[in-house]
Amino acid sequence: MPDGDSAAPVRTGPAPTPTFMDTSELDLTGRLAVVTGAGRGIGRAVAVELARAGARLALVARSADQLAEVRDELAAAGAVAEAYSADLADIATVAELGARIERDLGPAGVLINNAGVVGPIGPTDRLSVADVEQSFRVNAIAPMLLTAAFLESMRKAGWGRIVNVSTGVVAHPTALARGNTYVAAKSALEAHSLNLAAELAGTGVTVSVYRPGRVDTAMQGWIRDQDPDTVGGGLVERFAEWHRSGELITPAHSARALVSRLGDTETGRILDVADAA
């Protein structure tokens, strides 16, 4: 998932705790929210926050076991949630998924495209066609197709919230050298988001990009565990130092900052966890 943001200039010391609007004031009662990458990390935390705001949940991820845990956790708290295990790299699956969710649960009002893959990281001349395709399918094409599947219902309702979770490294592409496919795919996702926001202006459907910050998730751990000779020793050490020094924020902090902005009516925004207010 895109829940281990690798952006930008290195700072030292504990990460500042983001501030955000009180999500208890956000009322999504009865609205269906679709969250991809909902089995762990930011996606799971976003689902919890949306449930607190009264939304019904369609949880999407590849791991059926992780999804079942999240669904059961939400159900125990009184929320309505259904799990949809799907590989978002499979375009045929993605093309059918939106229609399946709406058949089961009705029209969607909120879509959080959070699922993503950071790998492979390594020299660009060693990438395979499959590597490049995998990254673009999960990080860019799947969000585009899922969004298209829900647009008609959102337009008819005159209300919708689409948030595409990206990474701060798009603003600082050189910060993740050897992560060419990830940086390129997330850059494409942001361009798609802003273009779609312009297309939908005045419809009541907003489209935003969200850069989640440096979050303590499996993605961060995966990068720390990589072979320094392949991904670059400086990258591994930088991620390890963030972990050691307390640079990383929790998924719950980042999720709360995201969900707190869903009440806004402005569209075409690039939101950063550090800017939440």
Cα dist. 195→129, 144, 201, 269 in Å?
Answer: 27, 12, 10, 11
DSSP state of 248: P
Say if residues 29 and 3 touch (Cβ distance below 8 Å).
no
Cα dist. 245→13, 172, 207 in Å?
Answer: 6, 22, 35
Active site residues: 182
Q: Which residues contact 34 (CB under 8 A, 6 or more apart)?
A: 57, 58, 60, 101, 108, 110, 111, 112, 146, 150
Q: Is 53 left (phi over 0), alpha (psi -120 to 50) or beta?
A: alpha
